[in-house]
Structure 1
Amino acid sequence: VHKQQINQENIIQWLSVQTTAISPSIKLHTRNLPSVRGSDGHANSDRMIAMNINVVAHFHQAVETNLASKDSHWVFVNEEISDSEIMELAHSSLGRMTVVRQIFPLWRDSSVSCMRNNHRISSLLCDPQEGYLQSLEVSNLYLYDSVLMLANAFYRKLEDRKWHSMASLNCIRKSTKPWNGGWSMLETIQKTALYPQGRITGLTGIMDFMDNGSNSHVQFEILGTSFSETFGKDIKRLATWDSVHGLNGSLKESRIENGMQGEDPFVMVAENILGQPKRYKGFSIDVLDALAKILGFKYDIYQVADSKYGSQLSNGSWNGMIGELINKASAQNHRADLAVSAITITPERENVVDFSKRYMDYSVGILYHKPEEKINIFSLFAPFDLAVWACIAAAIPVVGVLIFLLSRMQMLRSQNPPGAHHSLSMSNSLHSAIWIVYGAFVQQGGDSMVGSVALRIVMGSWWLFTLIVCSSYTANLAAFLTVSRMDNTIRTFQDLARQMDFAYGTVRDSAVYDYFRAKGTNPLEQDSTYAELWRTISKNNGQDFCVSSPSEGIRKAKKGPYAFLWDMAVVEYAALTDDECTITVSGNSMSSKGYGIAMQHGSPYRDLISQKILELQEKGDLDVLKQKWWPRTGRCDLNSHTNAQPDGRSLKLHSFAGVFCILAAGLLLACLVAALEIWWNSNRCRQEQPKEVTELRARKTQQGEDTATLYFKDPAADANPDIVELQYTEL
């Protein structure tokens, strides 16, 4: 048998339903839901949907045949079940129970006039407090409304003078010819709202049919068992459904116990007042407040004793928040209804508890201390390779020698009058030519008077060469400085596995720890990265590099060369709010998981909370809360992977230290050369013979100044000695 079901996303699903015989005369139509684990950790499949049965009698049979254990969850879909029967079922069942039935809320509204005069039936239907209408069998209500609708349709036909005569019936024949007015009568029923008197209201409410023949005003309610320390097991309305609003849940006047585990920024202790209960804040608390405001419930929060999220122990039991939920479901500890914190949805946890829809995506991040920026005083030479610098250094003297030779050749070819004094160019000497080349290279120019075409070609080629070299250096320097700021040794798990500078680990017995164990020990895993990561993480059963809590891992990452693998949302918040901005985050998406609110299997809150989470996502409220706790512009810049300050884009002094060192070396060399020149010239002057003054002549200038002209003769000179004229003015 197959039954059609509409889930909360209004998607039609086909459920495979089987018939189970619990006695020779009673059969249950049930569907086994996915296998779950009970409080003892053993698998069972006692989650069943029962449809269209005599609920009370059949359920007592199910209890006697041990089909309603403490770990079972029964879902009854029955229109005929009454309030008294529901309470009897709730107290008979050891496990959880959910009931779906049709309701008729119209007559519970005291503002609606009594229908006694309209329908000529019992006056008990006029008192909404009696609940008499709900106690009637639904089949009787529909039977009455069917006759009422048909009578009104006949009346409309007679009023419109469109009556179709009835065909004669023959009870002997096996088949009877259909009535010709049937389709016309159906059309009249569907168009009831178009008549002046309006829609017809019966015992089941307004009768208004759509094109497919269904009544759009049908409503259902969902009831479920709840637990409280004061009243024990009870029945509460969880939600209602209609074709206009869909599933509409409310938890008004409900008080829900929430177990939590502190994790920044999901759940944090807020400011406490002496003598008052602890107050909490965080992203998960904000989500819980939003749900409480929409659904109308109140909640209490307490921290689990062992401060763990929940993992399965060797004996099959669970610790942490998951254990609290399982114990609540098995009636061992009436406390936690929900588990709220940075708890991830995993297949292992879903075997023992239910989760709401994810309210935030999940990935694994790598938190580590920012590497210290390496200081290289000669970093400005990094844009060019050493071989390039060597070639440039060699090109300067080569071109200088070539210019010197060409300049000498030009001077020898020139014809000047005998005895004329030549004004020599700076390129007439080798060191002057090299100086011109160097000046052009550093774009300072030179004072050479180049006359020949050959020299112009050489200098033009050199200037083009220096232009290209300087432009390339400038572009490469900018790119080099940009890349050096973006450089990050750890970007992915592969980088983490290859490097040797950082030790790394995670929290022992956590979801991240179990994930790396599953990936690292899977023989079908093609990527060897996880095997390498797991070998390091699992050394000495996780005692060497793993930590006992997330806060310990964050502190360890701040102190030294340690990479902490944990939830991206948690480590990203830690990096954003770090006082010294010494830690950063890298990593990639681990899997398509997310954070959810955990609750017992079959919890009456699951569907309501999931629906409201989806509504918060569609309206963008969750994005606003995320921006509150993970701002795009926080105290620290996560895009910076070194200990640079916010003004780190400007070049620091150590970046130019090499240039200043070269300048200082040049100045020292110049001073040394100057000292050597002075020493050399002084020694040379002492070795030379004194010059004889050969002629002294004094004369007066026309301006009245006294001048003297001295002529010296150098005995060491040749036959035609140079004459040096010295003039001085006597004041």
Structure 2
Amino acid sequence: MATVFSRAALFLVAAASFVTAERVIRFGADPYVSDLRNRTLRVVTKAANGFVLISDVDKDGNNVTGNDRFRGFCMDLLSWMSTELGFKYEYYEVQDGQFGIYNSTSEKWNGMIGDVLYGKADMTMAPLFITSERQTAGEFTLPYYDNGMTFAMKKTASRTSNTWGFISPFQGELWAAILLTALAVGLFQGVANLATKDIDNEPQGDAQEDKDEDKETGFWEAVWQPFVALVQLGPEFLPRSSSGRLSAFFWGVGILVAISTYTANLAAFLTVRNVDNSITSAEDLVGQKEISYGTVRTYATWVSFKTSTTEPYQSLGVVMKAKEETVLVDNLQEGLDKMRQGKYALFADSAELDYHASRQPCDIQTIGRVFWQTGYGIFLPKNSKYTSEFNKVIVTAKERGVFDALDAKWIKSQECSGTDQSVLESSVIGLQDMLGVFVLVYGGMALAVIVLIGEFIHTCAQDVKKSDAHPKTLAGAAKTRLKGMFSRRNSKERSTRNNPDSNISHWP
């Protein structure tokens, strides 16, 4: 009599602990001995991402058999339960690959539910949704994983009006690098222009000087040219020196790549539309025709939609029934593929959808609140003497944080953390993406510097070969030329200031 009371008390305590999540009050001091101890249970299961993974080889590529073929949340949980209750178990995969739905025509259950009801298995161990229909056929333990229904859609980029949106295709650091590179190229071309001009063969007379002013380009005009080329206005002059032309060529290649990339990315930004922007709940799907929606035809979700008498689920079920051939899918993967093609919402277990939404390629998202919340449970035959045993150990697992640890190990993932800023942010071009272009431009400038040094030496050598009024050594010629690089420009600016009638404009 004491034993019966002890068992009943433990069951009630377990149930109370699950509902209220408060402390467990234990009655009596007699140790409780499980009816499962030393028993071997035949357990039916079904592959489900994260919860049940079935493979004939292990992670090292070795062939495995028996229980070693099965891994996942459910397997770790049952292993822990067996240690607590002292039983053994043997897994097998359900033959028809179904969770279990009642066929009103044949009046039979299929899948794992059928295997348990017809004596092939002692229990299930898989992410099996607790429903009232299944509960009438057999019985479930307390939920070992809180779950419900929700729907998911392809993640789309949201775009809002932005006055400065035209700069969005490139990151700020890339814009800064482009402008600084344009300045660097301009400064180099300005120096190259001054270093290689023939400062000795100056035309005589103010008239000739004014005539040639338009033909020669000053330092600041040369600096300005890369910025003009950047917006494709066309060059106002072409560098005279080989080094200047070489740097202009590599800068032109860089501009070509940058503008092509910017144009393509800007077009993508401007054509993005968040067509699903108004879909924030299941209610929003009712009445609209742009987005179709469905579920897996063999899931309990479909049965629930067909039998629901509450809105909006009844209306959603009516629409799914009318379009059954096009909106229902045969398995979850087919539904995910259909969803990724766009304009399709998939209803399924929230845990399954969350699993896929939190993993690469991070292109889907669950939407709205979770509804029809019950959870996953272990299914057993009606009036099973093991139900209370499992209820007790499920409560114990909750108290010890077993489920949280397994959830973190098998279900939750950080792969997609930080991607909720929208898909657009991932398509913004950064400096790292264009690094090769800058390597090309600056590599070309380095080559142009070598050419410029050669040109300068060659020009100085020509100065030495001239009349006696010129330097007699290469070093002297180089010194004279370096001193005179800016002298002519300065003298022309003074001449212009002294001649207010001059029509010649100069860069400041």
TM-score (norm 1): 0.39
Match of residue 572, structure 1, among 343, 350, 354: 354
Q: 1:380 to 1:566 in 2, by over 3 A?
A: same
- Paired residue for 2:110, among 319, 324, 343? 319
> Conserved in 2, the CA contact under 8 Å of 1:488 and 1:641?
no
Label 1:646 to 1:251 Cα distance change in 2 as closer, same or farther (>3 A): farther
2-side partners of 1:599 and 1:271: how far apart? 27
Question: Which of 396, 405, 412 does residue 624 from structure 1 map onto?
Answer: 405
Instruction: Say if 2:74 is the partner of 1:294.
Output: no
User: Are residues 561 and 725 of structure 1, via their aligned partners in 2, closer, same or farther at CA, if it must alter by over 3 Å?
Assistant: closer
Counterpart in 2 of 1:551?
A: 333
Cα distance, 1:551–1:380 mapped onto 2, change above 3 Å:
closer
Identity, % of aligned positions: 25
**CA 1:267 to 1:11, structure 2 compared with 1: closer, same or farther past 3 Å?**
closer
Pairing 1:106-255 to 2, within 5 Å after superposition: 243-244=28-29, 247-249=32-34, 251-255=36-40
Amino acid at match of 1:614: V
Highest RCO, 1 vs 2 (Cα 8 Å, sep ≥ 6)? 2
More helix by share: 2
Say if 1:344 and 1:596, in contact at 8 Å, map to a contact too. yes
Instruction: Say whether 1:511 aligns with 2:296.
Output: no
CA–CA separation in structure 2 for the residues paired with 1:295 and 1:617: 16
Give the direction of change, closer, same or farther, for the CA distance of 1:255–1:9 in structure 2 (3 Å limit): closer
Partner of 1:261: 46
Q: Aligned pair in 2 of structure 1 residues 380, 348: CA closer, same or farther (>3 Å)?
A: same
Provide the residue aligned with 1:674 in structure 2.
Answer: none
**Where does residue 189 of structure 1 map in the other structure?**
none
Return the alpha-carbon distance in structure 2 between the equivalents of residues 648 and 575 of structure 1.
Answer: 22
Find the aligned partners of 1:288 and 1:635 in 2 and give their Cα distance. 27
> Matches of 1:584 and 1:283 in 2, distance apart?
22
Q: Report if aligned partners of 2:112, 2:124 keep a CA contact under 8 Å in 1.
A: yes
SS of match in other structure, 1:362: coil
* Aligned partners of 1:325 and 1:338 also within 8 Å: yes
- What amino acid does structure 2 have at the position aligned with 1:535? V
C-alpha separation between the residues in 2 aligned to 1:569 and 1:253? 33
8 Å Cα contact 2:52-2:70 kept in structure 1? yes
Match of 2:371 in 1: 590
Compared CA separation, residues 649 and 600, structure 1 to 2 (3 A)? farther
Q: Which structure features the higher share of strand residues? A: 1
Question: Aligned-pair distance for 1:551?
Answer: 2.1
What is the aligned partner in structure 1 of residue 74 from structure 2?
Answer: 284
- Counterpart of 2:92, as a letter, is Y
Distance of 1:368 and 1:270 partners within structure 2:
30
Give me the CA root mean square deviation. 3.8
Asked if 1:351 is matched to 2:136, the reply is yes
Residue 583 (structure 1) shift: 1.3
Structure-2 change in CA distance of 1:339 and 1:560 (3 Å): same
5+ long unaligned stretches in structure 1: 14-240, 329-334, 382-483, 654-723, 727-731
Q: Are residue 361 (structure 1) and residue 141 (structure 2) matched?
A: no
SS of 1:611's equivalent in the other structure is helix
Give the deviation of 1:251 after TM superposition.
Answer: 2.8
2:417 matched residue in structure 1? 637
Judge conservation of contact 1:267–1:280 (CA < 8 Å) in 2: yes
Distance of 2:429 and 2:82 partners within structure 1? 47
Match of 1:310 among 77, 84, 100: 100
Q: CA distance change for structure 1 residues 12 and 581 in 2, over 3 Å: closer, same or farther?
A: closer
Q: Distance in 2 between matches of 1:567 and 1:605?
A: 27
Gaps of 5+ in 2: 16-25, 167-272, 434-499, 503-508
Task: Determine if the alignment matches structure 1 residue 537 to structure 2 residue 333.
Answer: no
Which of 5, 8, 11 pairs up with 2:10? 8
Query: Amino acid of the residue matched to residue 310 of structure 1?
Result: G
Secondary structure of the residue aligned to 1:351 is helix
2:400 partner letter: K
Give the letter for the 2:63 counterpart: L
Q: SS where residue 325 of structure 1 aligns? A: helix
1:326 maps to a residue whose letter is L
Q: Counterparts in 2 of 1:370-409, with a 5 A limit?
A: 370-373=155-158, 378=163, 380=165
Residue 505 of structure 1 contacts residue 537 of structure 1 at CA under 8 Å; is this kept in 2? Answer: yes
Alpha-carbon offset, residue 645 of structure 1: 5.0
- The whole-number CA distance in structure 2 between the counterparts of 1:504 and 1:246 is 53
**Quick one: structure 1 residues 630 and 361, their matched pair in 2 at CA, closer, same or farther if it must change by over 3 Å?**
same
2:9·2:27 contact (CA, 8 Å) conserved in 1?
A: no
What amino acid is the match of 1:562? Y
Report deviation, 1:594: 1.2
Encode CA deviations 1:193-240: one digit per residue, 9 max, x unaligned. Answer: xxxxxxxxxxxxxxxxxxxxxxxxxxxxxxxxxxxxxxxxxxxxxxxx
Kept in 2, the 8 Å contact 1:505–1:536? The answer is: no
TM-score, structure 2 as length reference:
0.54
Distance in 1 (alpha carbons) for counterparts of 2:52 and 2:155:
27
Mapped partners of 1:560, 1:253: distance in 2: 52
| CA deviation profile, 1:639-664 (whole Å, cap 9, x unmatched) | 727324569799xx9xxxxxxxxxxx
Residues 1:11 and 1:279: Cα distance change in structure 2 (over 3 Å): closer
C-alpha distance in 1, partners of 2:424/2:501?
67
Rounded Cα–Cα distance in structure 2 between residues aligned with 1:556 and 1:261 = 23
AA partner of residue 280 (structure 1)? F
Q: After TM superposition, give the deviation of residue 548 of structure 1 in Å.
A: 1.3
Q: Distance in 2 between matches of 1:640 and 1:649?
A: 18
In the TM superposition, residue 629 of structure 1 has moved relative to its aligned partner by 2.3
- Contact 1:575–1:638 (Cα < 8 Å) also in 2: no
Q: How far apart in 1 are the matches of 2:77 and 2:287? A: 40
Post-superposition CA distance 1:660-719 (Å, at most 9, x none): xxxxxxxxxxxxxxxxxxxxxxxxxxxxxxxxxxxxxxxxxxxxxxxxxxxxxxxxxxxx
Residues 562, 509 of structure 1: alpha-carbon distance in 2 compared, 3 angstrom cutoff: same
| Counterparts in 2 of 1:488 and 1:295: CA distance versus 1, 3 Å | farther
Structure 1 SS opposite 2:326: coil
Query: CA–CA distance in 1 between the matches of 2:380 and 2:284?
Result: 38
Secondary structure of the residue aligned to 1:358 is coil
Of the two, which has the highest radius of gyration?
1
Distance, in Å, in 2 between the alignment partners of 1:354 and 1:548 is 27
1:9 deviates by 4.2
Aligned residues: 311
1:563 aligns with 2:316: no
- Report the AA paired with residue 256 of structure 1: L
Q: Secondary structure at the match of 2:388?
A: helix
